[in-house]
Amino acid sequence: MDYTVYILYSQKRSRYYVGQTDDIEKRLIRHNNCLVPSTKYGAPWVLIFTAEVNNRSEALILERKIKKRGAERYLNDNQFGV
């Protein structure tokens, strides 16, 4: 099963959120409908980065790597721009 590691951005709070899921469309809807406790005050969230991986283990490893580096720094380091 494919998993997606993603980065969201909230202009309202000037914050990034990093997560992983097996259904990115459904997950983004949940974030923007304030159904995720850690993101409910930042809606609307904009999807700014996705990376497809083969399984949840790989997704967790990449998610941890991005969080450790910081989402904005990770995007800049990898020339995705912000």
For 15-72, write each residue's pLDDT tens digit. Answer: 999 999 999 999 999 999 999 999 999 999 999 999 999 999 999 999 999 999 999 9
Would 39 be classed as within a structural domain?
Answer: yes
Rounded CA-CA distance 32/67 in Å is 21
Edge-to-edge, what's the strand order for the sheet holding 45-53? 15-21, 3-10, 45-53
Is-contact 6 49, C-beta < 8 A? Answer: yes
Would 38 be classed as within a structural domain?
Answer: yes
What is the residue range of 13's domain? Answer: 3-69
Would 81 be classed as within a structural domain?
Answer: no
CATH code of the domain in which 30 resides:
3.40.1440.10
pLDDT of 80 above 70: no
Would 77 be classed as within a structural domain?
Answer: no
